[in-house]
Amino acid sequence: MKIATKRWVCLLVMLLTVSIGFQFVVTSQVEAASKYLRNNTNLYYRSGHYATFRGGTTAYLDNRGYVRSGVLARNTNLYYKPGHYTTFRGGTNIRFANNGYVQSGVLYSNTNLYYRSGHYTTFRAGYGVSFNNYGYINSGTLYRNTNLYYKPGHYTTFRGGHRVNFYSNGYIHSGILNHNTNLYYQPGRYRTYSGGRRVTFKSNGYVY
């Protein structure tokens, strides 16, 4: 009985040691990936491309030394997908995907952005936007009241000045209705949703 107890104690000590060591490695990696900038600093976010980040802030780098997020020192033109760029606001946080294209940031000016091929709308300056892996907008704040499709052949008007979210196929995931709207929540069954209410759609176009 005493031998079994000693074995359990030894096992617990080993597990605790491994756990502490793992936490140390993870913490060390996180600390190694962060860089405090005393002055405005040029940092590369992909090969051959850099931006200036604000002094007095912390930037976060990946294991290749490319910046993954930080605070822009000034208004900066950055690509969010090949051949497409816009201006992001200085003094705000920017985040890059692993491929070096913008994943999220704050728009400097009202900007037309595509949410799927052949379909775009205007998003409001001073608000954050995010992009999916294909470079289409994933979320942002509408500049004006906008008609958007929530499934093929079906659209309604969403209120400007409020955030909308899209599925990767470009159909609306959630947004604020501009006016009272009849929407189906399951096949053959619908109800009236009031204007000013946020609605969320399932991937099949029915309201949750």
Q: Do residues 88 and 55 both lie within one domain? A: yes
Q: Do residues 153 and 192 both lie within one domain? A: yes
Query: Does the residue 113 lie in any domain?
Result: no
Q: Do residues 206 and 148 both lie within one domain? A: yes
Query: Does the residue 114 lie in any domain?
Result: no
Is residue 30's pLDDT more than 90? no
Q: How many domains does the chain divide into?
A: 3
Confidence band for 33, pLDDT divided at 50, 70 and 90? confident
Confidence band for 23, pLDDT divided at 50, 70 and 90? very low
Is residue 1's pLDDT more than 50? no
Q: Do residues 57 and 3 both lie within one domain? A: no
Query: Does the residue 122 lie in any domain?
Result: no
- How many other C-beta atoms lie within 10 A of the C-beta of residue 108? 19
Q: Tell me what pLDDT residue 27 has.
A: 36
pTM as predicted: 0.82
Q: Report the alpha-carbon distance of residue 37 to residue 53 in Å, rounded.
A: 8
Is residue 21's pLDDT more than 50? no
Q: Do residues 27 and 88 both lie within one domain? A: no
Average pLDDT, stretch 46-69?
97
Q: Do residues 23 and 50 both lie within one domain? A: no
Q: What is the pLDDT of residues 117-168, one digit of tens each?
A: 999 999 999 999 999 999 999 999 999 999 999 999 999 999 999 999 999 9
Query: Does the residue 204 lie in any domain?
Result: yes
Q: Tell me what pLDDT residue 184 has.
A: 97
Query: Does the residue 64 lie in any domain?
Result: yes
Q: Do residues 206 and 136 both lie within one domain? A: yes
Q: Report the alpha-carbon distance of residue 22 to residue 81 in Å, rounded.
A: 37
Secondary structure E strands in 47-195 = 49-53, 57-61, 67-71, 76-81, 84-88, 93-96, 102-106, 111-116, 119-123, 128-131, 137-141, 146-151, 154-158, 163-166, 172-176, 181-186, 189-193
Q: Do residues 161 and 89 both lie within one domain? A: no
Q: Tell me what pLDDT residue 197 has.
A: 97
Q: Tell me what pLDDT residue 7 has.
A: 52
Provide the 3-class DSSP secondary structure of residue 139. strand
Q: Do residues 152 and 197 both lie within one domain? A: yes
User: Which domain covers residue 1, as residue numbers?
Assistant: 1-32
Q: Do residues 38 and 100 both lie within one domain? A: yes
Q: What is the pLDDT of residues 58-100, one digit of tens each?
A: 999 999 999 999 999 999 999 999 999 999 999 999 999 999 9
Query: Does the residue 120 lie in any domain?
Result: no
